[in-house]
Amino acid sequence: MHPALFQLVDGPTQWLMGFKLVDRAMSFLTYQRKRVMRRKIEARLRAQGLYGDEVVRGPFKGMTFPRDMYISGRFEFTIGACEQELFPLIERLAATKEYSEIINVGASEGIYGTGLGRLFPAAQIICYETVAEARDRCLEIAKLNGVEDRFVMRGHCSASDLAAHKPGVKPLIWMDIDTGEREVLDPVKVPWLKHVDIFVELHDCLEPGLSALIRGRFEKTHRIERYTLCGLDYDKYPELHSLNFEEIHAMVEHDRKGLHDWFFMEPL
Protein backbone atom coordinates (compact mmCIF):
# COMPACT_ATOMS: atom_id res chain seq x y z
CA MET A 1 0.00 0.00 0.00
CA HIS A 2 1.27 3.48 -0.85
CA PRO A 3 2.50 5.28 2.31
CA ALA A 4 0.19 8.26 1.80
CA LEU A 5 -2.85 6.00 1.40
CA PHE A 6 -1.82 3.98 4.46
CA GLN A 7 -1.65 7.14 6.58
CA LEU A 8 -5.07 8.18 5.29
CA VAL A 9 -6.83 4.92 6.27
CA ASP A 10 -4.76 3.83 9.27
CA GLY A 11 -6.45 5.94 11.92
CA PRO A 12 -10.06 5.44 10.78
CA THR A 13 -9.49 1.70 10.43
CA GLN A 14 -8.18 1.35 13.97
CA TRP A 15 -11.08 3.49 15.22
CA LEU A 16 -13.61 1.23 13.48
CA MET A 17 -11.96 -1.88 14.88
CA GLY A 18 -12.69 -0.59 18.35
CA PHE A 19 -16.37 -1.41 17.81
CA LYS A 20 -17.26 -4.97 18.83
CA LEU A 21 -19.55 -5.57 15.86
CA VAL A 22 -16.89 -4.45 13.37
CA ASP A 23 -14.29 -6.58 15.10
CA ARG A 24 -16.56 -9.64 14.89
CA ALA A 25 -17.24 -8.98 11.21
CA MET A 26 -13.51 -8.74 10.50
CA SER A 27 -12.88 -11.96 12.41
CA PHE A 28 -15.48 -13.71 10.28
CA LEU A 29 -13.99 -12.35 7.05
CA THR A 30 -10.49 -13.35 8.20
CA TYR A 31 -11.67 -16.90 8.82
CA GLN A 32 -13.41 -17.06 5.44
CA ARG A 33 -10.25 -15.81 3.75
CA LYS A 34 -8.32 -18.55 5.55
CA ARG A 35 -10.72 -21.18 4.16
CA VAL A 36 -10.31 -19.86 0.62
CA MET A 37 -6.53 -19.88 1.04
CA ARG A 38 -6.64 -23.50 2.17
CA ARG A 39 -8.50 -24.61 -0.94
CA LYS A 40 -6.04 -22.81 -3.20
CA ILE A 41 -2.99 -24.15 -1.38
CA GLU A 42 -4.35 -27.70 -1.32
CA ALA A 43 -4.98 -27.55 -5.09
CA ARG A 44 -1.46 -26.28 -5.68
CA LEU A 45 0.13 -28.96 -3.50
CA ARG A 46 -1.97 -31.67 -5.16
CA ALA A 47 -0.72 -30.51 -8.56
CA GLN A 48 2.85 -30.74 -7.24
CA GLY A 49 2.25 -34.27 -5.91
CA LEU A 50 2.77 -33.13 -2.30
CA TYR A 51 -0.74 -33.73 -1.02
CA GLY A 52 -3.11 -36.63 -1.55
CA ASP A 53 -5.82 -38.60 0.23
CA GLU A 54 -3.65 -41.00 2.22
CA VAL A 55 -2.04 -40.26 5.58
CA VAL A 56 1.71 -40.28 4.99
CA ARG A 57 3.20 -40.07 8.52
CA GLY A 58 2.50 -41.04 12.09
CA PRO A 59 0.65 -43.96 13.69
CA PHE A 60 -2.30 -43.62 11.27
CA LYS A 61 -0.08 -43.83 8.19
CA GLY A 62 -1.93 -45.55 5.34
CA MET A 63 -5.41 -44.44 6.40
CA THR A 64 -7.31 -43.04 3.42
CA PHE A 65 -9.80 -40.18 3.12
CA PRO A 66 -12.52 -39.91 0.47
CA ARG A 67 -11.55 -37.48 -2.26
CA ASP A 68 -13.14 -34.02 -1.88
CA MET A 69 -14.79 -34.81 1.47
CA TYR A 70 -14.68 -31.97 3.99
CA ILE A 71 -12.82 -33.11 7.11
CA SER A 72 -11.83 -30.77 9.91
CA GLY A 73 -8.04 -30.60 9.93
CA ARG A 74 -7.79 -32.81 6.84
CA PHE A 75 -4.49 -31.38 5.57
CA GLU A 76 -2.81 -31.68 8.97
CA PHE A 77 -4.01 -35.25 9.47
CA THR A 78 -2.90 -36.22 5.96
CA ILE A 79 0.67 -34.95 6.31
CA GLY A 80 0.91 -36.41 9.82
CA ALA A 81 1.09 -33.06 11.62
CA CYS A 82 -2.20 -32.83 13.51
CA GLU A 83 -1.68 -33.51 17.21
CA GLN A 84 1.72 -35.02 16.53
CA GLU A 85 2.43 -34.55 20.24
CA LEU A 86 0.29 -37.67 20.77
CA PHE A 87 2.10 -39.95 18.32
CA PRO A 88 4.46 -41.52 20.92
CA LEU A 89 1.47 -42.30 23.16
CA ILE A 90 -0.59 -43.83 20.35
CA GLU A 91 2.36 -45.92 19.14
CA ARG A 92 3.03 -47.12 22.69
CA LEU A 93 -0.60 -48.11 23.19
CA ALA A 94 -0.62 -49.98 19.87
CA ALA A 95 2.49 -51.90 20.95
CA THR A 96 1.42 -52.72 24.51
CA LYS A 97 -2.38 -52.78 24.74
CA GLU A 98 -5.12 -55.07 23.45
CA TYR A 99 -8.31 -53.08 23.79
CA SER A 100 -11.59 -54.90 23.30
CA GLU A 101 -13.54 -51.69 22.87
CA ILE A 102 -12.74 -48.08 21.98
CA ILE A 103 -15.36 -45.54 23.03
CA ASN A 104 -14.74 -42.38 21.01
CA VAL A 105 -16.73 -39.54 22.59
CA GLY A 106 -16.76 -36.52 20.30
CA ALA A 107 -15.83 -38.50 17.21
CA SER A 108 -16.27 -35.69 14.66
CA GLU A 109 -15.50 -37.23 11.26
CA GLY A 110 -14.03 -40.33 12.92
CA ILE A 111 -10.31 -39.83 12.32
CA TYR A 112 -9.45 -41.31 15.70
CA GLY A 113 -12.25 -43.86 15.58
CA THR A 114 -11.01 -45.25 12.27
CA GLY A 115 -7.32 -44.75 13.06
CA LEU A 116 -7.54 -46.57 16.36
CA GLY A 117 -9.76 -49.19 14.77
CA ARG A 118 -6.98 -49.97 12.30
CA LEU A 119 -4.42 -50.21 15.12
CA PHE A 120 -6.63 -52.43 17.30
CA PRO A 121 -8.23 -54.90 14.86
CA ALA A 122 -10.03 -56.86 17.59
CA ALA A 123 -11.72 -53.82 19.13
CA GLN A 124 -15.29 -52.71 18.63
CA ILE A 125 -15.45 -48.97 17.94
CA ILE A 126 -18.31 -47.01 19.51
CA CYS A 127 -18.46 -43.42 18.27
CA TYR A 128 -20.56 -40.68 19.85
CA GLU A 129 -21.04 -37.56 17.72
CA THR A 130 -23.75 -34.92 18.00
CA VAL A 131 -23.59 -33.56 14.42
CA ALA A 132 -25.48 -35.73 11.91
CA GLU A 133 -23.33 -34.72 8.91
CA ALA A 134 -20.17 -35.63 10.81
CA ARG A 135 -21.66 -39.03 11.70
CA ASP A 136 -22.27 -39.71 8.00
CA ARG A 137 -18.67 -38.77 7.15
CA CYS A 138 -17.42 -40.90 10.04
CA LEU A 139 -19.14 -43.99 8.67
CA GLU A 140 -17.92 -43.30 5.13
CA ILE A 141 -14.30 -43.03 6.28
CA ALA A 142 -14.68 -46.21 8.35
CA LYS A 143 -16.02 -48.06 5.30
CA LEU A 144 -13.23 -46.80 3.06
CA ASN A 145 -10.67 -48.11 5.55
CA GLY A 146 -12.33 -51.49 6.13
CA VAL A 147 -13.37 -51.10 9.75
CA GLU A 148 -17.08 -50.36 9.32
CA ASP A 149 -18.10 -53.86 10.46
CA ARG A 150 -16.82 -53.01 13.95
CA PHE A 151 -18.36 -49.53 14.10
CA VAL A 152 -21.33 -48.49 16.22
CA MET A 153 -22.44 -44.91 15.56
CA ARG A 154 -24.35 -42.97 18.19
CA GLY A 155 -25.42 -39.35 18.72
CA HIS A 156 -24.91 -37.06 21.69
CA CYS A 157 -23.24 -38.55 24.77
CA SER A 158 -24.28 -37.42 28.24
CA ALA A 159 -23.00 -38.72 31.56
CA SER A 160 -26.15 -40.81 31.88
CA ASP A 161 -25.58 -42.29 28.40
CA LEU A 162 -22.07 -43.28 29.40
CA ALA A 163 -23.23 -44.63 32.75
CA ALA A 164 -25.79 -46.84 30.99
CA HIS A 165 -23.14 -48.31 28.68
CA LYS A 166 -21.82 -51.75 29.60
CA PRO A 167 -18.12 -51.62 28.74
CA GLY A 168 -16.17 -54.57 27.43
CA VAL A 169 -13.33 -56.31 29.25
CA LYS A 170 -10.60 -53.88 28.16
CA PRO A 171 -12.13 -50.59 27.03
CA LEU A 172 -10.45 -47.32 26.13
CA ILE A 173 -12.23 -43.97 26.41
CA TRP A 174 -11.03 -41.44 23.80
CA MET A 175 -12.72 -38.10 24.44
CA ASP A 176 -12.71 -34.64 22.85
CA ILE A 177 -15.90 -32.68 23.52
CA ASP A 178 -14.91 -29.01 23.91
CA THR A 179 -15.47 -28.45 27.67
CA GLY A 180 -18.12 -31.21 27.85
CA GLU A 181 -15.58 -33.25 29.83
CA ARG A 182 -16.75 -31.36 32.94
CA GLU A 183 -20.18 -33.00 32.67
CA VAL A 184 -19.39 -36.37 31.11
CA LEU A 185 -16.03 -37.40 32.57
CA ASP A 186 -17.25 -37.81 36.12
CA PRO A 187 -16.54 -41.03 38.06
CA VAL A 188 -19.35 -40.26 40.50
CA LYS A 189 -21.92 -40.22 37.69
CA VAL A 190 -20.13 -42.96 35.71
CA PRO A 191 -18.54 -45.29 38.29
CA TRP A 192 -16.95 -47.69 35.77
CA LEU A 193 -14.62 -44.87 34.64
CA LYS A 194 -12.55 -45.60 37.75
CA HIS A 195 -11.36 -48.86 36.21
CA VAL A 196 -10.55 -48.05 32.57
CA ASP A 197 -7.94 -46.30 30.46
CA ILE A 198 -9.01 -42.75 29.56
CA PHE A 199 -7.64 -40.26 27.07
CA VAL A 200 -9.14 -36.77 27.14
CA GLU A 201 -8.44 -33.48 25.40
CA LEU A 202 -8.77 -30.67 27.92
CA HIS A 203 -10.07 -27.20 27.13
CA ASP A 204 -8.75 -24.74 29.69
CA CYS A 205 -8.33 -22.28 26.80
CA LEU A 206 -12.15 -22.24 26.61
CA GLU A 207 -12.97 -22.79 30.30
CA PRO A 208 -10.12 -22.23 32.78
CA GLY A 209 -9.71 -24.84 35.49
CA LEU A 210 -10.84 -27.93 33.59
CA SER A 211 -7.45 -29.68 33.81
CA ALA A 212 -7.33 -29.24 37.57
CA LEU A 213 -10.93 -30.44 37.86
CA ILE A 214 -10.33 -33.64 35.88
CA ARG A 215 -7.03 -34.32 37.65
CA GLY A 216 -8.77 -33.97 41.01
CA ARG A 217 -11.46 -36.46 39.99
CA PHE A 218 -9.01 -39.18 38.90
CA GLU A 219 -5.69 -38.71 40.67
CA LYS A 220 -6.60 -41.21 43.42
CA THR A 221 -7.60 -43.96 40.97
CA HIS A 222 -5.34 -43.33 37.94
CA ARG A 223 -1.77 -42.61 36.96
CA ILE A 224 -2.02 -39.44 34.88
CA GLU A 225 0.26 -38.51 31.98
CA ARG A 226 0.07 -34.95 30.67
CA TYR A 227 0.71 -34.01 27.05
CA THR A 228 0.86 -30.38 25.91
CA LEU A 229 0.30 -28.74 22.54
CA CYS A 230 3.75 -27.58 21.47
CA GLY A 231 3.65 -26.71 17.75
CA LEU A 232 5.41 -28.14 14.72
CA ASP A 233 9.01 -28.78 13.75
CA TYR A 234 8.55 -27.45 10.21
CA ASP A 235 11.60 -29.29 8.94
CA LYS A 236 9.76 -32.61 9.30
CA TYR A 237 7.07 -31.59 6.79
CA PRO A 238 8.37 -30.96 3.26
CA GLU A 239 4.81 -30.10 2.21
CA LEU A 240 5.24 -26.82 4.10
CA HIS A 241 8.61 -25.82 2.70
CA SER A 242 7.23 -24.01 -0.34
CA LEU A 243 4.72 -22.01 1.74
CA ASN A 244 5.15 -18.63 3.39
CA PHE A 245 4.20 -18.18 7.05
CA GLU A 246 0.76 -16.79 6.27
CA GLU A 247 0.03 -19.89 4.19
CA ILE A 248 1.49 -22.23 6.83
CA HIS A 249 -0.70 -20.67 9.52
CA ALA A 250 -3.72 -21.13 7.28
CA MET A 251 -2.98 -24.83 6.88
CA VAL A 252 -1.94 -25.99 10.36
CA GLU A 253 -3.03 -25.80 14.00
CA HIS A 254 -6.54 -26.98 13.22
CA ASP A 255 -8.26 -23.66 14.07
CA ARG A 256 -7.40 -24.11 17.74
CA LYS A 257 -8.50 -21.45 20.21
CA GLY A 258 -5.33 -21.64 22.30
CA LEU A 259 -2.78 -23.83 24.06
CA HIS A 260 -4.17 -26.85 25.87
CA ASP A 261 -3.27 -30.20 27.40
CA TRP A 262 -4.32 -33.80 27.04
CA PHE A 263 -4.39 -36.41 29.82
CA PHE A 264 -3.87 -40.14 29.42
CA MET A 265 -5.05 -41.86 32.59
CA GLU A 266 -4.43 -45.53 33.51
CA PRO A 267 -5.93 -47.21 36.59
CA LEU A 268 -3.46 -47.68 39.43
- pLDDT at residue 107 greater than cutoff 80: yes
- 256 vs 95, higher pLDDT: 95
Q: What is the mean pLDDT of residues 24-37?
A: 90
**Residue 4: pLDDT above 80?**
no
**Which long-range CB contacts under 8 A does 241-247 form with residues at least 24 apart?**
242/48, 242/50, 243/41, 246/37, 247/37, 247/41
Region 239-250: mean pLDDT is 92
Residues of the chain with pLDDT > 70, as a percent, come to 99
Indicate the fold that domain 83-235+257-267 takes in CATH: Rossmann fold (3.40.50)
**Across 68-81, average pLDDT:** 90
Which is nearest to 80 in space by CA: 102, 109, 50? Answer: 50
User: Which range, of 135-144, 183-192, 245-254, averages the lowest pLDDT?
Assistant: 245-254
Say what the pLDDT of residue 1 is: 63
Render pLDDT for 49-65 as a digit per residue (tens, 0 to 9).
999 999 999 999 999 99
Confirm whether pTM is higher than 0.85: yes
- Is residue 254 predicted with pLDDT exceeding 70? no
pLDDT number for residue 8: 78
Above 90 in pLDDT, residue 263?
A: yes
